[in-house]
């Protein structure tokens, strides 16, 4: 018989590790993809996913209600602002005439 605390710890650890993997893969994509729009794609997706998974993993470990409420606030705020910032950034680059990379061109 496994106690509830152990199951909670395992699920929380799994969520934290998954979030860490998303974060690292976002960093790798940002570093290795060939142009700005592909990098926005990599970062915009993995930022929200990594933040959500890590904060959910922490939420399962929250010792009291005050901590849990703060975690949920941070999560909601990141989920609101992350995509907004990404969209504003991509639109600013588009308006500024940043060229789209086509297959076969050198990366920039």
Partner 1 sequence: MFLAGMVAVLVAMVLALARAFLGPGLYDRILAINMVGTKTVLFIAVGGFLFGRPAFLDIGLFYALVNFVATVAVLRLTHYRELGVLPREEPW
Helices 4-32 and 36-59, axial angle in degrees (round to 10): 170
Tell me the closest approach of the beta carbon of residue 43 to partner 1, in angstroms: 5
Q: Taking CB under 8 A as the rule, does residue 101 contact partner 1?
A: no
Q: Taking CB under 8 A as the rule, does residue 11 contact partner 1?
A: no
| CA–CA gap between residue 47 and residue 108 (Å, rounded) | 22
Q: Taking CB under 8 A as the rule, does residue 79 contact partner 1?
A: no
Of the candidate residues 30, 45, 83, 101, the single one contacting partner 1 (CB under 8 A)? 30
Residue listed under structure tokens 């989920």 = 79
CB distance 55 to 62 below 8 Å: no
Q: Give, as ranges, the residues between 34 and 53 that touch partner 1 (CB under 8 A).
A: 36, 39-40, 43, 47, 50-51
């Amino acid at each position: 018989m496994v106690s509830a605390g152990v199951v909670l710890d395992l699920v929380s650890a799994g969520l934290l590790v998954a979030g860490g993997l998303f974060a690292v893969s976002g960093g790798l994509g940002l570093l290795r993809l060939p142009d700005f729009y592909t990098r926005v794609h990599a970062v915009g997706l993995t930022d929200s996913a990594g933040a959500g998974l890590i904060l959910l993993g922490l939420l399962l470990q929250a010792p009291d209600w005050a901590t849990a409420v703060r975690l949920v606030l941070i999560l909601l705020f990141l989920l609101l602002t992350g995509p907004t910032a990404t969209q504003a950034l991509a639109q600013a680059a588009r308006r500024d005439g940043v060229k789209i990379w086509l297959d076969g061109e050198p990366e920039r």
